Every structure is written in structure tokens, then in C-alpha cells.
Amino acid sequence: MTTAKPLDVRSVGTSPERLDGPVKVTGTAPYAWEHPLRAPVFVQPLQAAVVRGRVTAMDAREALALDGVLAVLTPFDAPRIVDTGDAEMAVLQSDEVAFRGQFVGAVVAQTPEVARQAADLVDVEYEVWPHDTEFSADRPDLYRPEAVNPTYDTDTDDGDVDAALAAAPFTVDATYSTPMEHNNPMEPHTCVALWEGPDDEPQLTLYDSTQGAHAVRTTLAGLFGLPGDRVRVISPHVGGGFGSKGMPHAHNVLAVLAARVCAGRPVKLALTRQQMFSLAGYRTPTVQRLRLGADTRGRLTAVCHDVVEQTSRIKEFAEQTAVATRMMYASDNRRTSHRLAALDVPVPSWMRAPGEAPGMYAGECAMDELAHACGIDPVELRAINDPESDPETGRPWSGRHLVRCLRAGAERFGWDRRPEPGTRREGHWLAGMGVASSTYPGYYFPGSVAEIERRADVGGRADGYAVRIGAADLGTGTWTALSQIAADALDCPFDEVHLEIGDTAFPSATVAGGSSGLNSWGSAVVSAARAFRDEHGWEPAPGARTRTGVESADGGPDYAVHSFGAQFAEVRVNTDTGEVRVPRMLGVFSAGRIVNPRTARSQFIGGMVMGLSMALFEESVFDNGTGHVVNHDFAQYHVPSCSDVLDIDATWLDEPDMQANPMGSKGIGEIGIVGSAAAVANAVFNATGIRVRDLPVTPDKLL
């Protein structure tokens, strides 16, 4: 939060087309793996074929004899890394296997084909140990993590929930579950590593598909004991991430190990879609018990949300599933908890709206159940319980417009035509409507720096401004929207801004995560532009340059900064097959100032489609015998196709939140997914009278 002077907007709020559009649609945008580099070599990883145990021997003789094979890396002879504290990243530093699919070696060869053939020839012997991958909420060994992502309290307890529940005339006590789900960006996780220079002063260059080039640099420099300035990460274009590219993963380390062995040659590594299911993070499965109590007028008297989820035995990641429940509705008695099962499974990580997405699914379905129990319209129930200030911190809201979103959405969606549950039959279809609230914190991460330079062409004539910051564009429209912010901050035409991002050669930028990117980088750009004008005036000489970070955030009043939204869905359920169709979805959001309506709409709708996907399709089916996800490809891991997404629209209350940052923006990358799965599931209940509490809502659960 900042009290910095608001930005006067001119370009912000308009919808220039994506600056990166032409290079992307013509296939000339270089993604990580595609950078044209001289004489590259290729890595084929070897993955553990057991769930838990130890590699006792690796025979690489046949592989090494193959023409074109340069090296085989094993846990016994791979280069050592300096910091092995993070077991996910300590690749090939031990002979132990902690989950199926973990890296146990790699082949480096002249071509990807030879590398793959050689990998098949490496003979790996294991000592097999017993394993435990069974996720359940009834385990005796569930434990309480230190904190949940990133630093929230694990548990909260206010008032007397048990007494309030016992006294409440209306209660809901329901358990919901969400499955393991996998981030599946279009572009898989890829990187190219190049290790050059003398042993005592090496230089590492990484072309990576990442949401944060500087974060990758910091992590890899630490792992390999290199000063930051000896590592450069380049990442101009990224084909989606959804959180899985928010931090480096084991494949980055494997590529660097291979580059170290093949020093001087660019080493290319692209995970296959199937490999991503073990190695790039995933959303933990959850079991969530919701208990709500309300008085006769529908006012909440108790809210209790208890979450069980899993982590890997080698690394803790606790998704903040119940955190949104802490601030969502007014109630004097509120309790939340998170418990983890540590299993022999791959390491979970961020996936779009970690915490809010599964937590608001359960919480907003429970609100729907409460509305039904009280006989109160679900929109009204939410309005009745809208808190005047943040129930958790007591802080005033910087702008909570949830009820306006709900009412505007209800009007536009035709909510008054919603039937009684299970009563609207049209031939072989039952039809219904559902609603859910949405929320996401307005994150701002400090630490970004931007550089502005007056450009000159060869003749010395001034040619706009170079704006440099190591930010990332995952395909979200950052390139365009951040250029709009820069143009307004410099008070110059949009086309005079030449934004350069995605490279640690540019000033440091925080990660594109938590929907914080534009808030954080935009604040730095505004700050740098103001400093540039102060220093160089309105007719700066070519080459005039200023680099600075964010203005002081001191002295501002302390507000609770969150975005809100209302999600509406209409469904049709086939009474013979159980098939669910979603003919209409509408989201009405309040997310501060919308910088570029064109790209914002696509972010909102993309999130809502991912929520539809969560509601009906996505489920990583984990086999406890073999310890891996059996449906590890797009043939079997289902996501919506165009024919599943029908009339879907997103709109917003365009209200700058000037407590958030100089732009008044609050971030939009994640709120679209929050609540959308609940809206669909609630609509399924309204259509059929069947309450499916375990996602995804597949036909078998409706017959």
C-alpha cells in the first residue's frame, strides 16, 4: 500500500492491442526453448521408476556407446551443488528417491532423438522402500504447518464457535473435497542453460519459461554458489504459467548440471506434458469441513472452516485454503484450521489462486446450502452478511463492492428467473442457476526497480523512451498494460514507450504471482518516470537515464485491500446421461482500475473458464500402487474445449482503489477463477436438487 500521488490517466483505461500479438501469431516470438543458439545439445531426463527407495546402480555403458551421446548424469557423478537445503532442488545430490518421477539422471546428446533413445538404454537399479501416498482426512499423522502460503497463520479462532453453532437455529455442516489438479500451461516448462568461462569465474545464462526471471536467478545463484551477477536469466515470452512457473523447479537445476558438464554448449531441456505431472508443482487435493450457523434472519453467528491437504515428505507447501473465509463474511465467532499429510508424492506448489480457488469453492457452496436451509435467496444471504470492516483485522476496506457486484450481476443475468431446485425440466434436461462470491487480495510486492532512458536513433534524434524492468508477460497482456502505465507516468504518447522486460539484465522485478505484477511493476515504473522528469525535464537529451524503485509507502492509513466479484452460472443437466452443460456464465468484478479493458476481459474470462474446468473436468487421478498420476496427458486430463464454453462474459465496476497504488489497480489474474466453480456446482444443485460436494461434478455423481 502506498500513499503515492495518483497517476493521471490517459492511455490507462483504453484498449490498445497486444504489442506482442504480431510476433506471437506469426510464430516469431522466441520462447525459451526456441532461442536460436549455436550448436545446442539436448537433455533427456531419467525419472525414478519407483515411488520410494534408493538408486543402487546405474549402468550407462550402452547409452554412452551410442553415436551422439555426450554425457550421462547420475546421482553418483553429477556436479555438486552448494546449497542442498531445498530437497526439491537438490537434483542428483543423493541416491534417494522421494517420489515416482523424480529425476535420477539425464542423458545429454547431439539431438533430442538420440538423447531419448539413450535414456532408454540406461539401466537403473533400485532398492525399493515401502511408500505411503494415500491422502485422507482421517490420518493420525496429520500435522499443523508453521504457516500457510506465504506467511498466513495456520489456525485462527475468534469468539466461541461451538457455542454459537449449538445455539444457531440454522446450521450447515458439510464436507467438500477438491482433487489434485495440475497446471497445464500451453508452453511446457522449458529452459536452455549455458555455462561458460573459467572455473573460478563462471558465467551462467538461462533462457527460461518463467513468471519471474529475477527469482530464478536468485535461486540458482544460491544453489550453485554464484554471485547474482554471474547468472543471467532471459525470458521475453512465456506461454502461460498459472503459478507453476512462479518459482524455478528441478528441471532448471538439471539443465544447469548438464550445462556444467557440457560447458560452452547451450543445453536445451523441455519437459514433456507427462513429465510436468511429476515435476512442476500441482494444486494439493483438499478435504474441507464447513460449519456455518445463522440466526432466523440469516445473519451468520458462526463460521468454521477446517482444511486437510497434502504435501511432499521432502518439502512443505501449505496452500492457504481457509484464509479467504477469515475475511469474507461478518460473524463474531470464526475458526479456521489447516492440517497437512506429508506423503511420498511430488511437491505441490502454486496454481492459479492457490487458497482462494479451492477454499471459496467450499465456502461458497456452504453459503448456498445455508441459503437453502434458511429459505433466503443466495444473493440476499451474502448481502445480509457483508461486513463493514475486515472481520479478521478490523481494518476498513479500501473498497469492498461485493454487494454491488452481486446486485448488478443478478439484474443482468436474470436471476429472478431462477427456479426452485429440481423443478425446471426442458425435455431431457434440468435447468438451473447458481451464484457465488469471489475475492482476491490486492497484493503489492515491494522491491521492483525500473529504468527509463530517452532513446536516440543513429542520427542522434530522440525516439521515445526505453522503459526497462525484469517483469514477465505470461500471455496476460502485461507488455501492453505496463506500457500504458509508463506512457501516462511519462505523460507521453503510448507509442513513444518501448518496454523491455523478461531479462535479469534489466532492473529487478518481483514475480508475476499473486496477481501482483502490474501493481508492483507499475508502481516502480510510475516512480521511475516521475524521477526521470524531475531529473531530466520535458526535453531530455538522448541517453538521459534514471533508474529507481518505488516511492516510500510510509504514512498511509492501513486498509484491507481486496478485490471482489460475483459469479453467476446457468447449467443444464441431462437426466439420462448426467452430462452437465454450462450455457451461460457471467462475472461482475470490482478489482480497482482496469488498465486495459481488452486484455482484462480476457484475464477474467480465462479465470472463469478455469473455474468451469475445476467444476466439471479437472482431476489428477493418483494411483497409490504405482505412485503417479495415471491421466498425465491431455487425452485424459480434461480441460474445457471451445464447445464447452458457450456464452461467457465478464464485466466490472471500474473504480480506482487509490489505497492500493498510484494506478488504483488491484490485480486481475486470479480473481476470475475464484468462486466460479462454486457458481457452477450451486447451479447444478438448483437444476437437479443434488448437492455434489466432491469436485469435479462428473455425470456419475448425478445419476
One character per residue 40-79, x = contact with ligand MOS (rule: CB under 6 A): ----------------------------------------
148-187 mask for ligand MOS (x: CB under 6 A)? Answer: ----------------------------------------
Indicate the residue among 42 and 440 with the shorter CB distance to ligand MOS. 440
Beta pairing, strands 462-468 & 497-500: parallel
Q: How many Å apart are CA 459 and CA 465, to the nearest integer?
A: 16
Q: How far is the CB of 27 from ligand MOS (least distance, A)?
A: 26
Give the range of 48-56, 147-155, 239-247, 445-453 binding ligand MOS by CB under 6 A: 239-247
* Helix/strand/coil for 131: coil
Torsion of CA 95, 274, 220, 91, to 10 degrees: 0
Closest distance between ligand MOS and the C-beta of residue 320, in Å?
A: 11
CA distance 570 to 403: 20
Candidate segments 11-19, 58-66, 150-158, 344-352, binder of ligand MOS by CB under 6 A: 344-352
Q: Are 482 and 509 in contact (CB under 8 A)?
A: no
H or E element in which residue 453 lies: strand 449-456
602 and 243 Cβ atoms separated by less than 8 Å: no
What's the CA gap between 631 and 184, in Å, rounded?
13
Considering only the stretches 104-112, 238-246, 256-264, 311-319, report the one whose residues sit in contact with ligand MOS under the rule CB under 6 A. Answer: 238-246
Residue number, 211 or 567, with CB nearest to ligand MOS: 211
Which C-beta is closer to ligand MOS: that of 316 or that of 551?
Answer: 316
Contact partners, residue 166, CB within 8 Å, separation at least 6: none
Taking CB under 6 A as the binding criterion, the range among 193-201, 346-354, 476-484, 589-597 that sits at the site for ligand MOS is 346-354
Task: Specify the stretch interacting with ligand MOS by CB under 6 A; choose among 117-125, 348-356, 368-376, 484-492.
Answer: 348-356
CB of 670: closest distance to ligand MOS in angstroms?
6
Measured CA distances, 30 to 36, 39, 216, 407, 599 (Å) = 8, 17, 19, 45, 21
Span 508-547, contacts to ligand MOS by CB under 6 A: 513-514
Number of residues that bind ligand MOS (CB under 6 A): 11
CB of residue 702 to ligand MOS, shortest distance in Å: 30
Task: Name residues contacting ligand MOS, limited to 611-670 (CB under 6 A).
Answer: 670
Active site residues: 670
Cβ contacts of 625 within 8 Å, gap of 6 or more: none
Closest-approach residue to ligand MOS (CB):
243
How far is residue 44's CA from residue 106's CA, in Å, rounded to a whole number? 6
* Minimal distance, residue 30 CB to ligand MOS, in Å: 22
Smaller CB distance to ligand MOS: residue 293 or 441? 441
What residues contact 164, with CB distance under 8 A and at least 6 apart?
A: 293, 301, 302, 331, 332, 333
CB of 352 to ligand MOS, least distance (A): 5
Burial class (CB in 10 A: 0-12, 13-18, 19+), 512: buried
* Phi, psi dihedrals of residue 590, rounded to the nearest 5°: -130, 100
In three-state secondary structure terms, 468 is strand
Task: Answer yes or no: are the C-beta atoms of 377 and 406 closer than 8 Å.
Answer: no
Longest pairwise C-alpha distance within the chain: 81
Cα 107 to its chain centre, rounded Å, is 31
The position carrying cell 501492453 is 480
Question: Considering only CA atoms, which of 282, 268, 329, 351 is closest in space to residue 310?
Answer: 282
**Shortest reach from residue 440's CB to ligand MOS, in Å:** 10
Stretch of residues binding ligand MOS (CB under 6 A), selected from 89-97, 222-230, 242-250, 660-668: 242-250
* Cβ count within 10 A of residue 60: 22
Per-residue cell: 585: 456464465
d(CA 265, CA 33): 14
Considering only 293-301, 345-353, 369-377, 495-503, which stretch makes contact with ligand MOS by CB under 6 A? 345-353
Binding characters for ligand MOS, 207-236, by CB under 6 A (x = yes) = ----x-------------------------
Query: Which of 635, 677, 671, 646 lies closest to 184 in space, CA to CA?
Result: 635
195 phi-psi bin (left φ>0, alpha ψ -120 to 50, beta other)? beta
Select from 40, 53, 212, 243 the one that contacts ligand MOS (CB under 6 A). Answer: 243
Q: Return the number of the residue (224 or 350) whose C-beta is nearest ligand MOS.
A: 350
Question: Minimum distance between the CB of residue 290 and ligand MOS, rounded to whole angstroms?
Answer: 23
Q: Which of 101, 105, 188, 246 binds ligand MOS (CB under 6 A)?
A: 246
CB of residue 269 to ligand MOS, shortest distance in Å: 22
349-388 binders of ligand MOS (CB under 6 A): 350-352, 354
Nearer to ligand MOS, 248 or 432 (CB): 248
Closest distance to ligand MOS from the beta carbon of 183 (Å) = 8
464 counts as binding ligand MOS under rule CB under 6 A = no
Q: Which is nearer to ligand MOS, 258 or 600 (CB)?
A: 600
Torsion 20-24-27-32 (CA) sign = positive
Binding site for ligand MOS (CB under 6 A): 211, 242-243, 246, 350-352, 354, 513-514, 670
